[in-house]
Chain A
Amino acid sequence: EDQVTQSPEALRLQEGESSSLNCSYTVSGLRGLFWYRQDPGKGPEFLFTLYSAGEEKEKERLKATLTKKESFLHITAPKPEDSATYLCAVRASGGYNKLIFGAGTRLAVHP
């Protein structure tokens, strides 16, 4: 059964304090791993797609990396505006581009 687990549940950082969020997955043949950002009261916003181990994607202070069992979202020198919930998802078996989501990591960056 496809499964996604994110850790930690919540993370508090000081502005400028770099850290990483973890997404571990179990899937029969990875066909895409996705990172989303969700602000309070809003829908998830697409950030990255990764397809194969060793792949990396970057956007501003965020970098996503992928291994055969997990993905990391590295946040370098975060700012308060990076505060959000970050969601990880894998493309599920069975077609139709269905996604299986983790429960998310709530990130709070304090000045």
Chain B
Amino acid sequence: NAGVTQTPKFRVLKTGQSMTLLCAQDMNHEYMYWYRQDPGMGLRLIHYSVGEGTTAKGEVPDGYNVSRLKKQNFLLGLESAAPSQTSVYFCASNAGTGSYEQYFGPGTRLTVT
């Protein structure tokens, strides 16, 4: 099992450009999450999904959109990138019931200039 995978690993954008980050999991997990990690601030939840076709806002959702068209995939979109969105983005998944730990992908380092 690959677990949770993320593409791309690195990306540099200019202000105003758009991009989509892809997360895939092969554990048949119901719940999926997108976080950003900034120095000294810990992981902060952007959006999450509790099943195929559902999405919900987390702690810092502004400037991001998400979609979960298939159970195994969770996409994070930036419609008009801003320098404040320079960060490391992590996707995670969780079984949903009876097991509460989240399993993380390797991350995407995004720089917006």
Contact = CB atoms under 8 A, between A and B. Distances in A.
Nearest to B104: A43
B101 A45 contact: no
Contacts of A41: 107
Given A43-B90, A103-B42, A97 B104 contact: no
Say which size band chain A's interface belongs to. Answer: 20 to 34
B75 interface: no
Given A96-B48, A96-B50, A91 B106 contact: no
A17 B105 CA distance: 32
B41 interface: yes
Given A43-B106, A49-B100, A96 B56 contact: yes
Contacts of A97: 31, 94, 96, 100, 102
A103 B43 CA distance: 7
B41 A43 contact: no
B40 A103 contact: yes
A32 B100 contact: yes
Interface string A80-111: 00000001010100001111011110000000
Contacts of B43: 44, 87, 89, 99, 101
Contacts of B58: 98
Nearest to B50: A96
29 contacts: A4-B42, A31-B100, A32-B100, A34-B101, A34-B102, A36-B104, A41-B107, A42-B106, A43-B90, A43-B104, A43-B105, A43-B107, A46-B103, A49-B100, A87-B42, A96-B31, A96-B48, A97-B31, A97-B94, A97-B100, A97-B102, A98-B33, A99-B43, A99-B45, A99-B102, A101-B44, A102-B42, A103-B40, A103-B41
Interface of A: 4, 31-32, 34, 36, 41-46, 49, 87, 89, 91, 96-99, 101-104
